[in-house]
Amino acid sequence: MNKTIRRASVFTLLLVLALVVRATWVQFYDGKALADDKNNRRNAIKTYADPLGNIIVAGDSITGSTRTKGGDLAYKRTYKNGELYAAVTGYASQAYAPTQLEGIYQDLLNGTDTRLKTVMDTLTAKRAEPGDVVTTIDPDVQKAAYRALGSTKGGAVAIDPRTGKILAAVSTPSYDPAALTDANTAGKAWKSLNADKDKPLTNRALRQPLPPGSTFKLVVAAAALEEGLYKNVDEPTDSPDPYTLPGTTRVLANENKSAPCKNAPLRDALRYSCNNVFGKLAVDLGQDKVRAMAEKFGFNDDERDVPVRAYASVYPSKMDKSQTALSGIGQFDVTATPLQMAMVSAAIANGGKLVSPHMVSRITDSGGDVLKNYDDDADSEEIVSSSTAEQLRSAMETVVKDGTGTNALIDGATVGGKTGTAQHGENNSKTPYAWFTSYGKSDSNGKEVAVAVMVEQSDAARSEVSGNGLAAPVAKAMMRAALK
């Protein structure tokens, strides 16, 4: 073979090798990227070729699938009581990425989760039968919250303090996920929902942190007791009334001008919601100690999954003393979700221990065999001592029996709570937020529940906006449903 032919042969071989390498790259790397691309319609065709698995509440499916008429997508998602459970399920849409539980367990529900595959499925590359998601939601508590919130804009969460199970997660105004399932009609519904000034797609139960107002005083009280600033909730505090914010001439006023807030013990300070007491307490403790206690309860945690990713509730840093005082009454830059404030009450109700909140009990395959049990994996952490928790429960019960939270009283149950009315807008120019966080325990069957309710906006006159007036009745309805 002469030199020219030999060189041509080598060059040709290199070309063939380059083609092989490129074909392999496209087949196994670019091919996967193309297959996984969100704009690849084959994925939607595959996802909706068969019925999806279901989301279960108390043994009943609250989702389903139905045949479509025409088109290349054989099935679409359906919902039972869609508006009631929207904050839990989210939506599975032929046109948009799934959200909430529909998104988190997308692979399980469409049968592509590798845990579902049998040996035969693997050999034939056939899609496995889809699995199901079994939630912790109690339908009676969910319905009670939804009905009680009614036409208001708000959110509510109920937790079993002993197990961490989320019994209800409601956001109003809600929306019907079924409006977004069909690719032919989803666009119009999507545009309408996003144009709505009340933002129905916002999950106010888990993902709308707002100033918690006086409900945050429970965190400050817990820090004061744990740090030994006061021995118990009946020891008088060093709290002048009026209290002037440090470094300013501004007085931190109390809503109830006639309340005995001067040097009030923590019990009375919670009972009458004395701003002077908790503003000064926050300054006496210092922002670092208040923040440390807030973070024990779950504030500043931007990785809170239940399993839906909940937005972080925030206790700020780098404050001056006057700002620290305002943080002590749940103002300045303090924000919280209903989930977070329900966690505060849950830990207090459970002897100072917080069980990680979760709203999925287990996931199963199509035959009902458990793939993962989340109830067994729930962590428990001591937030405050049992004695501190007992002191706080006693004070919270005083709030409900003879304080600012009387609208939460329930016959046949022990109820403790804390109201909150958070300022909104510059110089409190907008309608305040109404809050209530509480726990209840049945005197007859021993059942327990912790609840938090936030009413962001209602039709009530500004003068009628209060935690006791708007939020406590919602909490009462939820607790009654949970404890019956």
Q: How many CB atoms sit inside 10 A of residue 126's CB?
A: 12
Position 48 scores a pLDDT of 86
Whether residue 346 has pLDDT greater than 60: yes
pLDDT in tens, 270-295: 999 999 999 999 999 999 999 999 99
Residue 202 lies in a domain: no
Provide the CATH number for the domain around residue 404.
3.40.710.10
Instruction: Tell how many helices (H) and how many strands (E) occur in the chain.
Output: 17, 18
Between the CA of residue 231 and those of 117, 206, 266, 288, what are the distances in Å? 59, 35, 10, 20
Catalytic positions: 214
Whether residue 28 has pLDDT greater than 70: no
Token pair in block for residue 88: 């839990």
State the Cα angle at 307 between 302 and 313, rounded to 5°: 30
Q: Residue 227 burial (CB < 10 Å; 0-12/13-18/19+)?
A: middle
Whether residue 428 has pLDDT greater than 80: no
299 Cβ partners below 8 Å, 6+ apart?
Answer: 219, 291, 312, 313, 314, 315, 336, 340
pLDDT in tens, 371-381: 999 999 889 99
99 Cβ partners below 8 Å, 6+ apart?
Answer: 90, 91
Q: What pTM was computed for the model?
A: 0.90
**Contact predicate 48/94, CB 8 Å:** yes
Position 454 scores a pLDDT of 98
Residue 254 lies in a domain: yes
Range 55-58, long-range pairs (CB < 8 A, 24+ positions): 55/85, 55/88, 55/89, 55/101, 55/102, 55/109, 55/132, 55/133, 55/135, 56/132, 56/133, 56/134, 56/135, 57/85, 57/88, 57/135, 57/137, 57/139, 57/142, 58/137, 58/138, 58/139
**161 vs 342: CA distance, rounded Å:** 9
pLDDT bucket at 49, cuts 50 / 70 / 90: confident
pLDDT (average), residues 230-235: 98
**223 vs 299: CA distance, rounded Å:** 14
**451 vs 434: CA distance, rounded Å:** 14
Position 442 scores a pLDDT of 98
Whether residue 162 has pLDDT greater than 70: yes
Q: At residue 136, what are phi and psi to the nearest 5 degrees?
A: -95, 0
Residue 173 lies in a domain: no
**Beta-bridge partner residues of 417:** 438
Count of structural domains, the chain:
1
Position 15 scores a pLDDT of 77
Q: Which domain holds residue 281?
A: 213-360+379-483
Position 427 scores a pLDDT of 57
**166 vs 406: CA distance, rounded Å:** 25
pLDDT (average), residues 25-53: 67
**Beta-bridge partner residues of 168:** 158
Residue 287 lies in a domain: yes
Position 400 scores a pLDDT of 98
Residue 310 lies in a domain: yes
**484 vs 482: CA distance, rounded Å:** 6
pLDDT in tens, 430-460: 778 999 999 999 999 999 999 999 999 876 7
Residue at 224: amino acid letter: A
**Contact predicate 289/272, CB 8 Å:** no
Position 424 scores a pLDDT of 62
What is the 8-class DSSP label of residue 104?
Answer: H
What is the 8-class DSSP label of residue 358?
Answer: B
Position 198 scores a pLDDT of 95
Residue 289 lies in a domain: yes
Residue 147 lies in a domain: no
Mean of the per-residue pLDDT values for the chain?
Answer: 92
**58 vs 138: CA distance, rounded Å:** 7
**289 vs 287: CA distance, rounded Å:** 6
Position 122 scores a pLDDT of 63
pLDDT bucket at 330, cuts 50 / 70 / 90: very high
**391 vs 265: CA distance, rounded Å:** 12
Position 40 scores a pLDDT of 53
Position 458 scores a pLDDT of 77
Residue at 194: amino acid letter: N
Whether residue 171 has pLDDT greater than 60: yes
pLDDT in tens, 384-411: 999 999 999 999 999 999 999 999 999 9
Whether residue 46 has pLDDT greater than 90: no
**Of residues 309 and 34, which shows the higher confidence score?**
309
Look at 70-79, 179-188, 245-254 and tell me which has the smallest mean pLDDT.
70-79
Residue 452 lies in a domain: yes
Helix (H) or strand (E) holding 432: strand 430-442
Convert 366-414 into a string of H (helix), E (strand) and C (coil): CCCCEEEECCCCCCEEECCCHHHHHHHHHHHHHHHHHCCCHHHCCCCEE
pLDDT (average), residues 85-113: 97
